Chains A and B, each alone.
Chain A
Amino acid sequence: MHETDMTKALILTVKDWWESQPDRPTISHVYLTVGQFTCVEPASLQFSFEVQTRQTFLDGAKLVIQETPLIAFCHHCQQEYHPEIGIHYACPTCQSPMDDIRSGRELKIDRLEYTSQPPIPLP
């Protein structure tokens, strides 16, 4: 199950950000975009995230995943199309190869939601 390793990679990346923050805030939500043309299964990612973040700086944080569909653009027909994963990737009209993927390859951490103590005003 490679989502375990994907999650490790995700946690490392978020940790880099967290460690760069002077007050080490509490992260409540991690928002991801995951494309359908990746090898990542969102449900497995959720499970791995829950297990791997226990008793870490991300303990209790929620993973919110937005999936994006596979959309390609055919330059010959000058139109977008939805390749059928596992069945057919070439343009359904002219059979040109799927050379230009416009959506579906995303594996992105969009944003983090976190709580932080407001700075104590100087006397």
Chain B
Amino acid sequence: MHQTFDAALEINLLHANQQGADHNRSHFDEWGITCLNVMSSPGAGKTALLERTLAELNHELRMAVIEGDMTTELDADRLRQYNVPVIAINTGRSCHLDARMVAGGIHQFAHQYNPSDFDLVFVENVGNLVCPAKFEVGEHAKVALLSVTEGEDKPLKYPVMFQEADCLLITKLDLAPYLDVKLDRIVENVRQMNSHVTIIPVSAKTGEGLSQWFDWIRSSLSHYTMQNLPISASMSLGG
């Protein structure tokens, strides 16, 4: 005879992913690394932005990239030219990185390098304005990109991404004069749902706005890095 029971779970649907993300973050904290999750639609300029960032901050910060891509290593190869560790992760059919995939990347990174030597890890997420916003990977802050060519209405259409962002870079600013796009309108649309986000218009091509972006990185480093945390000897990779 069978009896019917009820179990109240009351837990987040993404609980398992969240646990993985927390685990990843604890590694970064232990190593004194700040992790930034860089997200946008395909073609908004994440890789170009990282190229400029790696090139110009290389003498100041020790950086690495965990590079998510559905199929190729094209972006990873672009970033490898800057002499920083780039760990490529192919997501296959998945349209975002999740905590488990990034854990694999962290494992590789820790195997090949001494992570305590690093200050900053960028996770370049798969190009997508929807899913990456919901799957935490262990980042300390979320950086969203929106290029001027995508139009003013994208924050309204994809609100979750813009609501979750800690920093929003409005990219390809050099193209703005050729388009019927109003930056004020983009900012206004984002502010409707996120009054705290730092908004920085930039052009990776001309360099406009990049110094503000670098300042934001510096401030996030001092904000999130917990160098003085006791190192837990029992902490293990994977999991």
Please judge, given known A-B contacts A5-B131, A89-B159, whether A108 and B10 are in contact too, CB under 8 Å: yes
Q: Is the CB of B16 within 8 A of A5?
A: no
- Set of chain B residues within 8 Å of A38, measured between Cβ atoms: 134, 160
Residues of A contacting B98 in the complex (Cβ-Cβ under 8 angstroms): 5, 9
Would you call B15 and A39 a contact (CB within 8 A)? Answer: no
In the complex, what residue of chain B is closest to A114 when comparing beta carbons?
B5
Within 8 A of A (CB), among B1-16: 1-16
Which residue from chain B places its CB closest to the CB of A17 in the assembled complex? Answer: B9
Residues of the B chain whose Cβ atoms lie less than 8 Å from the Cβ of A10 = 13
Measured CB to CB, the closest approach of chain A to B98, in angstroms, equals: 7
When chains A and B are docked, how far (Å) is the Cα of A85 from the Cα of B163? Answer: 12
Q: Which of A74-93 contact B (CB under 8 A)?
A: 85-90
Chain B 157-173 interface residues, beta-carbon cutoff 8 Å to A: 157, 159-160, 163
Residue of chain B at shortest CB distance from A97: B195
CB distance from B52 to the nearest CB of A (A): 30
Tell me the chain A residues, 87-123 only, with Cβ under 8 Å from chain B: 87-90, 97-99, 107-118
Establish whether residues A118 and B11, one from each chain, have CB atoms under 8 Å apart when the complex forms. no
Shortest C-beta distance, B113 to chain A (Å), equals: 29
Q: Is A9 a contact of B7 with CB atoms below 8 Å?
A: no
Q: Interface size of B by Cβ–Cβ distance < 8 Å?
A: 36
Partner of B12, one of A86, A89, A108: A108
Q: Smallest CB–CB gap between B133 and chain A, Å?
A: 7
How far is B95's CA from A99's CA once the two chains are assembled, in angstroms? 28
Which A residues are closer than 8 A to B by beta carbons? 2, 5-6, 9-10, 12-14, 16-17, 25-26, 28, 32, 34, 37-39, 85-90, 97-99, 107-118
Residues of B within 8 A of A (CB): 1-17, 94-96, 98, 130-131, 133-135, 156-157, 159-160, 163, 191-195
Query: Which 8 pairs, one residue from A and one from B, show the smallest C-beta to C-beta distance?
Result: A2-B131, A97-B195, A12-B16, A115-B2, A89-B192, A90-B192, A107-B13, A89-B193
Instruction: Offer 24 A-B interface pairs, CB within 8 angstroms, sorted by A.
Output: A2-B134, A5-B94, A6-B134, A9-B14, A9-B98, A13-B14, A17-B9, A25-B5, A38-B134, A38-B160, A39-B134, A88-B156, A90-B193, A97-B194, A107-B12, A107-B134, A109-B10, A109-B11, A111-B8, A111-B10, A112-B7, A112-B9, A113-B6, A113-B7
Given contacts A107-B134, A109-B9, A111-B10, 16 further A-B contacts (CB under 8 A): A2-B95, A2-B134, A5-B95, A5-B135, A9-B13, A9-B15, A9-B16, A13-B13, A38-B134, A86-B156, A88-B192, A89-B193, A98-B192, A110-B8, A112-B6, A113-B6
